[in-house]
Structure 1
C-alpha cells in the first residue's frame, strides 16, 4: 500500500501534466515490463526480447485463440504417407524490411539456428535427416525417424519462438548475438532511435502483407493500425501508473497488483487480463557448480519452500494467483500434484538433506532483477527461506538485462557466474514435456542451469515420438515425477497477467500469451 500513498502524492503535484497535449493519434506509447537491451530472440529466452521479436519478425505457423496451430507465413503444407517428409510452401508477397523477397533458403537457415537453441527445436532437429530447399518458395523437412510435433514446434508461441530471419542473419552462430535486425513482420525496428534505458521505437511496415483471416491471438491477419509504437522505459510502477492516468502514455503491459485500485478508479482506464492462460513462476538452479550440482542440495531447497510466501510477495492478490506444485501446470491435461511439497515446508528434512549434500557453507549467488515486475520480489523471500535451513545466500541486485546476460555464463559463481535466479514463463510454454524448456536434461544444450539428465532426455524424446494420447500422458507424468525427484527446478506457483490501457484512446488489444501490438486502433 506504500505505492498508493506515493501515487496519490504524485497526482496531487501534477496538475500541470493533466493538461498536457495527448499523444499523437498515430503513436502508441506504452510501458513494457522491462527495458530492452538484448535484441536477439534466439540468443535469449527473455520475454522482453521475445516481445521485440513479435514486433519485427514473422513465423511460419502461429497459435490461435482456440490454441490451434495455424499457417502464418506458410500458404500450404503436405505430409508424406510415412509422415517423414514435410513440404512447406510460403505465401506470395512476403518481403523483408529491406525489400528483398522472403525465400525458402531464409526459412531453412532460420529453422537451423532456432533448432540449435530451443529445447523443442533441438528434439525436432535430432529427428531430422535433412532440410531441403525445393525452390524459391518451397522447402522440406525430411525426418530420419518419427517426430509427431513438427507443426507444434514451428508454431511454438513463446520463448524460444522460431522467428524467420534473412539467410545472412540466420547464419550467425546461434551462440552469438545478431547485429542485423531486418525482419518481415508488421513493424520495423528503428535502431537509430533506440535509447536503452529510455525508449524503443517501431514504425509500421507499410509493405507487410497480412493474412486474409481475422486476427486470432497470434494467428490470422497481423494488421498494424498505428504508425508508430514507442516503448517508454519507466521502471517505477507508481510513475508508470501516474503517466497512464495523466494521459502521457496509452498502455502499461503489466502494472503491479497493489496499484489496481487506482487504475480501477479511473473511468478512462481499463484493466485487461490479456494472458488468460496465465504464467508460471520458477526458481532455477545452476547444476554445473556446488552446491546445486548435488541433487540433495537441490532437494533441501525444495523442502524449504512455501509457494504462497513467494506469490503473496510478488503478486499480492489471491484472486489472481494460484498455489500449484504441478511442474506441467495446474489446469493442463498433464497436471499432477505432489501433496504438501512446496506448499508446507519440512524444515527438518531440508536441514538433513543439506547436511547429506556436504554443503560447506560457501554463500550461494542469488541474482535479483530489481526492475522486472514479474519476479523482482521473489529473491528476498527465497533468501529467507533457504537461510532458515542452513544455506548462506549472497543476494546480488542488478537489472533484468544483466541477469539475462549473466545467466548465460557457465563460470563459477565466484568468477561472475551464479547459483540461482528466478523467472516466469507463460503456461502455454510449460504445459507439456516437449515445449517446457525447464525440464530439459540435455547438458550443454539444456536451458540456462544446464541439467545433465539422460533419463529425462529419454522421456522427453519418447513423448515427442509418441502419437497415442494415453501413452503421451503416461510419459508426461513420468517427466513430472522426474522434475520433482531430481529437483530440476522449483515451481513457485501460477498467476494471471493484467495490463492497463486508456480505453478512451485505444481498442483492439488481442488476448494471448504475448502482448501484441497489431490490431490495436488508436482513437
Structure 2
C-alpha cells in the first residue's frame, strides 16, 4: 500500500507543471535597470521603469494574458455587464491581503480607482465617462457609465493599482500593495529592495504573460539603476547582475559567447516614436508637424538604433503585422524622407528659424541614436534643431511642462486595446486634442464587435496621420540578458520575476 501511494504521488507530480512544484529559496535576484525610477507611484508616472518594479508590489483588477486580452487578477472573474453596456459589476477575489496585513475589500478598490481617475492620464479619460463608482457589499464594486467605453477593462489592467484606502494620499508615502513582493527599502540611485510577501495569494491558472499563477520563489529582488548600457552588459557577464534590461543589440553575440549569461529577445516589444507638442511652441501648427513627418527616414533611424534588421522592422501601421489592429489606413508622409516636401511645408507654415527642441535620453540608447538621425534629417529639411540629451527621470518630468520642449522620443508597447495608446489620451504629454480625433474615437467607443472595432480603428489611425501628433519610427525587438544559473524567466514587455528561480 505504501509503495503504491508513492507511485501514485510520483505519477501525479509528473503531470504537474514545474511551477507547481517549484520551491521557494533564500536566493536573491539582482536586476540591472535602465536607471532610477522617478517614483514608485505608477498612477502618477506609468513609465516602463516604474511599471516594471511596481508590478511586483501592486496589482490591478485585471491584467494582460499572452494575447493582450484583459483577464482577472484581483477581480474574481470577468465583469457582469448590463444589456445596455453601461453597468459593470466586478466581483473581487476573497482572502487577499495587503502587505500591512489588512484585507482587501471593495472600499480599497473604489478609493484607489478614485485617486487613479484624479491623477493618471488614462484615469482622467475614464473619469469623463463614469457616472458612479460604488461598493456592492465587501467583495464587489459597480461601475456605472454615462456612455459605452470599449477600453474600460484595458485601462483597469495597467496603472490603476489597488492599495489600502487608509494609505491613499495625494503624495504617497507608503507603497503597500497585494503583490508577491513587498517594498523593504529604497535608496535612490543605489537600489530598490523587494522581499517575498509570505501572505500572498496567487491567482490560479497557468502563467500567461502577466496572468495566471504567481509564485515568489526568490526571497528578494533587488532592482539596481545602471544608466549606462555597457555597464549593464559587463555586470551581467561578470555575474554581478542576474538580469540586465534593455541591452544594446551590438552586445548580443558577446553575451551569447560569455558562457555566464544568455541574451533574450522579446519580439515586437513595441514601437518607437517622436511625440510632438501640440499645446505650445512651434509644433502647434499642423503644417510644421507634417513637415517633421515628411522629413524623417524611419529605416535610417531604426538601423542606427538597432544595427541589424533582426532587431527591428519599419511599418507605417501603428500595430505590427499579425495584429488584429494592423492596417495601412491613412498612412502618409512615411517612407524614405522627403526634404523637398518638408521644406515646402515649412515655407507654407512661415517657419522663422526658431530652434526645434528635440529631447531624448541615453538611458535608452536607441532613443538617443534615433534622435541623432532625426536631427540630421530635420536639419536637411530646413529646421534648426536643439537636441537636448537628459536622463530619463528628467525627461519624464520636463515633458509635463509644455513650455520646455517640442519633440520627445519615447517607446510604447502594443496594448490590447488601441485606444489605450498614450498619445490618444488628451492629457498625455503632447496634448493631442482635435475635433476629428474626438469623432473617430467616439465611433470606436460605441463599437461592439471586433469587425466594428477594426473599422473604427482604421479611422483613428487615418486621423492620427493627418493631425500628426507623432511620428512612428518603427517596431523593435528588445534584447535583455539573464544569467545562465537563473531558471524560469519568460520574456515579457515589462520584465517580471515571480516564478523565477535564482542561481544557486
Give the conservation status (yes or no) of the 8 Å contact 1:204–1:228.
yes
Q: 2:280 aligns with which of 279, 284, 289?
A: 289
Q: 1:390 aligns with which of 371, 376, 382?
A: 382
Per-residue CA shift, 1:320-359, capped at 9, x if unaligned?
1001111344432232336773221111110010111122
Show structure 2 runs of 5+ residues with no match: 1-24
Aligned partners of 1:44 and 1:120: how far apart in 2?
11
Aligned partners of 1:433 and 1:25: how far apart in 2?
41
In the alignment, what sits opposite 1:299? 290
Matched, 1:496 2:482: no
Shift of 1:511: 3.2
Q: 2:254 is paired with a residue of what secondary structure?
A: helix
Per-residue CA shift, 1:150-191, capped at 9, x if unaligned?
3333234xxxx221122244452xxxx433212121111223
Per-residue CA shift, 1:18-53, capped at 9, x if unaligned?
xxxxxx961111211332232211112311011122
Give the conservation status (yes or no) of the 8 Å contact 1:106–1:170.
no
Aligned structure 1 segments of 4 or more residues deviating by more than 6 angstroms:
none
Per-residue CA shift, 1:352-406, capped at 9, x if unaligned?
1011112221112221212223412222222111111111111122100000111
Aligned partners of 1:169 and 1:284: how far apart in 2?
35
Shift of 1:244: 1.5
Aligned partners of 1:284 and 1:165: how far apart in 2?
32
In the alignment, what sits opposite 1:472? 453
Q: Residues 374 and 169 from structure 1, CA distance in 2 versus in 1: closer, same or farther, beyond 3 angstroms?
A: farther
In the alignment, what sits opposite 1:17? none
Shift of 1:146: 2.6
Aligned partners of 2:320 and 2:437: how far apart in 1?
18
Per-residue CA shift, 1:255-293, capped at 9, x if unaligned?
1100111111123322222x3342100001111222100
Q: 1:267 aligns with which of 259, 270, 293?
A: 259
In the alignment, what sits opposite 1:190? 184
Q: 1:516 is paired with a residue of what secondary structure?
A: coil
Aligned partners of 1:47 and 1:134: how far apart in 2?
34
Aligned partners of 1:66 and 1:421: how far apart in 2?
29
In the alignment, what sits opposite 1:436? 421
Q: 2:315 aligns with which of 324, 340, 345?
A: 324
Matched, 1:314 2:299: no
Aligned partners of 2:36 and 2:169: how far apart in 1?
27
Alignment of 1:109-508 (within 5 A): 109-116=111-118, 121-156=123-158, 161-170=159-168, 172=170, 177-191=171-185, 194-273=186-265, 275-337=266-328, 341-410=333-402, 412=403, 417-428=404-415, 432-440=417-425, 442=426, 446-503=427-484, 505-508=485-488
Shift of 1:121: 4.0
Give the conservation status (yes or no) of the 8 Å contact 1:119–1:435.
no
Aligned partners of 2:169 and 2:36: how far apart in 1?
27
Aligned partners of 1:128 and 1:297: how far apart in 2?
36
Aligned partners of 2:145 and 2:381: how far apart in 1?
49
Aligned-pair RMSD on alpha carbons?
Answer: 2.0
Length, aligned pairs only: 477
Shift of 1:90: 1.4
Give the conservation status (yes or no) of the 8 Å contact 2:227–2:363.
yes
Q: 2:283 is paired with a residue of what secondary structure?
A: coil
Alignment of 1:33-112 (within 5 A): 33-76=34-77, 77-112=79-114
Shift of 1:124: 3.7
In the alignment, what sits opposite 2:6? none
Aligned partners of 2:368 and 2:200: how far apart in 1?
37
In the alignment, what sits opposite 1:12? none
Q: Residues 389 and 66 from structure 1, CA distance in 2 versus in 1: closer, same or farther, beyond 3 angstroms?
A: closer
TM-score (norm 2): 0.89
Shift of 1:232: 2.0
Q: 1:507 is paired with a residue of what secondary structure?
A: coil
In the alignment, what sits opposite 2:501? 521
Per-residue CA shift, 1:299-323, capped at 9, x if unaligned?
1111000001211121112111001
In the alignment, what sits opposite 1:18? none
Per-residue CA shift, 1:220-257, capped at 9, x if unaligned?
12211001111222222222222222212111122110
Aligned partners of 1:80 and 1:470: how far apart in 2?
22
In the alignment, what sits opposite 1:4? none
Show structure 1 runs of 5+ residues with no match: 1-23
Aligned partners of 1:328 and 1:126: how far apart in 2?
27
Q: Residues 325 and 118 from structure 1, CA distance in 2 versus in 1: closer, same or farther, beyond 3 angstroms?
A: farther
Aligned partners of 1:328 and 1:257: how far apart in 2?
22
Give the conservation status (yes or no) of the 8 Å contact 1:33–1:253.
yes
Q: Residues 327 and 339 from structure 1, CA distance in 2 versus in 1: closer, same or farther, beyond 3 angstroms?
A: closer
Aligned partners of 1:405 and 1:168: how far apart in 2?
28
Give the conservation status (yes or no) of the 8 Å contact 1:459–1:479.
yes
Shift of 1:107: 0.8
Give the conservation status (yes or no) of the 8 Å contact 1:285–1:449.
yes
329-338 vs 311-320, which moves further: 329-338
